[in-house]
Amino acid sequence: MLTCLAGPDRASLPLHAATQAGLEALLARLPPGAAGFLRASGFAARAQEVALLPGEAGLAGAVLGLGEAVPTPWSFGGLPHALPAGSTWHLAEPGEWAEPAVLGWCLGAYRYTRLKPAAREAALLVPPPGTERAQQAAAAAWRGRDLVNTPANLLGPAELAAAVQDLAAAQGATCTVIEGAALAEGFPALAAVGQASPRAPRVAILEWDAPGAPPDAPLVALCGKGVCFDTGGLDLKPSAGMLRMKKDMGGAAVVLGVAEMVMRARLPVRLLVLVGAVENAVSGNAFRPMDVLRTRAGLTVEVGNTDAEGRLVLADLLAFAAERRPALLLDCATLTGAARVALGPDLPALFTGDERLAEALLAAGRTAEDPLWRLPLHRGYDSWLDSNLADLNNVGSKPMAGAIIGALFLRRFVPEGLAWAHLDLYAWNDANRPGRPEGGEVQAMRAIAGAIEGLFGGAQSPTR
Q: Which residues are catalytic?
A: 237, 311
Please name which of 308, 169, 344, 112 lies closest in space to residue 227, comparing C-alpha atoms.
308
d(CA 292, CA 189): 10
Please name which of 373, 401, 396 lies closest in space to residue 385, comparing C-alpha atoms.
396
In degrees, rounded to 5, the angle at the alpha carbon of residue 207 between the alpha carbons of residues 204 and 208 is: 145
d(CA 445, CA 191): 27
d(CA 281, CA 5): 41
Q: How many residues does the chain have?
A: 464
d(CA 76, CA 259): 26
Between helix 445-456 and helix 132-149 the angle, nearest 10°, is: 140
- CB burial class (10 A; 0-12, 13-18, 19+) of residue 239? exposed
The neighbouring-strand residues paired with 202 are 277
Give the CA distances from residue 429 to residues 176, 222, 377, 425, 440, in Å, rounded to whole numbers and listed in that order. Answer: 32, 23, 27, 11, 6
Query: What are the two backbone dihedrals, phi and then psi, of residue 225, each rounded to the nearest 5 degrees?
Result: -70, 120
d(CA 411, CA 407): 6
Between helix 250-264 and helix 157-171 the angle, nearest 10°, is: 10
